[in-house]
Amino acid sequence: MAKKTLRDVDLAGKRVLMRVDFNVPMAKDGSGTITDDTRIVAALPSIKYVLEQGASLVLMSHLGRPKGKGYEAEFSLKPVADALAKQLGRPVAFAPDCLAADDIVKAMKPGDVTLLENTRFYKAEDGKVKKDDDKKGIHLTEEEFQAKKAELKEKRAAMAKKLASYGDVYCNDAFGTAHRAHASTAVVADYLRPAVSGFLLEKEIKFLGDAVENPVRPFVAILGGAKVSDKLKVIKNLLGKVDTLIVGGGMAYTFLKAKGQKVGASLCEDDQLAYAKEMLEAAAAKGIKFLLPVDNVVANKFPAEKDASDVTLKVTEGDIEDGWMGLDIGPKTIALFSDAIKAAKTVVWNGPMGCFEFAPLAKGTFGVCDAVATVKANGGLSIIGGGDSVSAVKKSGRAAEMSHISTGGGASLEYLEGKVLPGVAALDDK
């Protein structure tokens, strides 16, 4: 469903409240140094457009995972405000409390920019409550749990209403959090209209939506990462859409075991074997190619050193011996996967093929990177679906050769599952 964007609203003289994803990585030395400003740069087209239209702009974001009990210095957005000011070449005011910014906001004039402090300093942002938490010694009765849920829901609504009071127009340009029904991502739209998409969110939805719902064929999906359980619904949804499904990474060993292959000490979810077998059978019934590793790089233990110098590595075809674990796909698998990828016109990739953080175990993931890079060059569409896949592509040096690199790991996964994203659903339809 098409959503209105910033282009569909007269912004002149208005104050725009925009949710962005400034959850950027910071140096661990406490200096506040931003180590990767990709997410800030990604938001600039929407930010600059608003200012060019003669509006003022109030930005809100989260950073990291604070406890929701107030200010925590390591999660402050103040360094981000300074970095954004440098990018824009103009001052960016900073509101040290996202729910106490009235004076700063009221003083704003067209062209002014204010960044609110971390929305997750307030528990009401997500409004979540756990019924049982052994670490914190929390064990609620059902009645207590429901009462707490209702209380936090009310607080979330109040927070959203307060945030909404800062703007005349709401814009969501944070795809990375669009799968969360938080006060600043979805609930705020209940109190502020019009509610529109920014250009980054628009781009994400277009690329992922078109790829999954209206792909140019052949359509190949590549899934990797550690666990089948993380991608159960993704696999099920894609099996109704793709021509070829490639599965690598740790999750492949559950499928290989389901086929009767020995996987040694490799990561394997025995409780998912029945599901894996079901998916393999479903693919066969639909005539979908389901490609799994035919050889693996195995180790006698998981490496502790970055160069994996402390382990013995070898390539194994077929069964993996007891005591050995698969940590990357082998050369024959790289060739098998690459042939399928290079023949595709649409490729969606989420999840590495192995432990690419270790140089000797990166060949599989980088081999897939090389293959995916050819798709765009050959007139096709290649989409990298967030998370570790993005890190791998950047590390490979081939990011510029991809059609689209998603800014949202969890959001892109849920989109691939076929879920409705609350942060998108809350926006005005065209």
CB distance 422 to 181 below 8 Å:
yes
Distance between CA atoms of 221 and 418, rounded to whole angstroms?
A: 14
DSSP codes, 69-124? BS--GGG-SHHHHHHHHHHHTS--EEESSTTS-HHHHHT--TT-EEEE--GGGBGG
Question: Domain 6-202 sits in which CATH superfamily?
Answer: Phosphoglycerate kinase, N-terminal domain (3.40.50.1260)
Contact 256, 263 (CB under 8 A): yes
Coil, strand or helix: which one is 174?
Answer: coil
Query: What is the per-residue pLDDT across 151-191, written as a single tens digit (0 to 9) for each?
Result: 889 999 999 999 999 999 999 999 989 999 999 999 999 99
Residue 129's pLDDT band (boundaries 50, 70, 90)? confident
Contact 321, 327 (CB under 8 A): no
**Res 50: pLDDT:** 98
Query: What is the pLDDT at residue 7?
Result: 97
Could you write out the DSSP letters of every residue in 244-301?
EEEE-STTHHHHHHHTT--BTTS---GGGHHHHHHHHHHHHHHT-EEE--SEEEEESS
Tokens 């050369």: give the residue: 331
pLDDT at 225 > cutoff 90? no
For residues 275-291, give the mean pLDDT: 96
Dist CA 230 CA 215 (whole Å): 24
pLDDT of residue 271: 94
Q: Which pTM does this prediction carry?
A: 0.84
Whether the per-residue pLDDT at 30 is higher than 90: the answer is: no
Tokens 């394997």 label which residue?
268
Mean pLDDT computed over 116-144? 84
Active site residues: 39, 227, 387, 410
* pLDDT value at residue 386: 67
Q: What is the pLDDT of residue 1?
A: 58
Q: Dihedral sign, CA of 379, 380, 383, 389?
A: negative
What tens digit of pLDDT does each residue of 363-402 get? 999 999 999 999 999 999 999 986 788 888 888 889 899 9
What's the CA gap between 138 and 15, in Å, rounded? Answer: 42
**Among 67, 171, 255, 115, CA closest to 426:** 171
| DSSP secondary structure string for all residues of 27-41 | -TTSS--BS--HHHH
d(CA 161, CA 156): 9
Please, what is the end-to-end C-alpha distance for the chain in angstroms?
Answer: 8
Q: What is the rounded CA–CA span in Å between residue 173 and residue 204? A: 10
Estimate the share of the chain in helix, then strand, then coil, as percent rounded to the nearest 5.
Answer: 40, 15, 40
CATH topology for 215-416 is Rossmann fold (3.40.50)
Question: Could you tell me where in the chain the CATH 3.40.50.1260 domains are found?
Answer: 6-202, 215-416
Answer for the pair 122, 99: CB distance below 8 angstroms, yes or no.
yes
Report the run of H or E that residue 365 belongs to, with start and end. helix 363-377
Is the pLDDT at 121 greater than 80? The verdict is yes
Asked whether 276 and 236 are in contact (CB, 8 A), the reply is: no
Mean pLDDT of 46-68: 96
Do the beta carbons of residue 168 and residue 14 sit within 8 Å?
A: yes
Q: How far apart are CA 300 and CA 425, in angstroms?
A: 48
How far is Cα 290 from Cα 248, in angstroms, rounded to an integer? Answer: 11
Output the pLDDT for position 228. Answer: 81
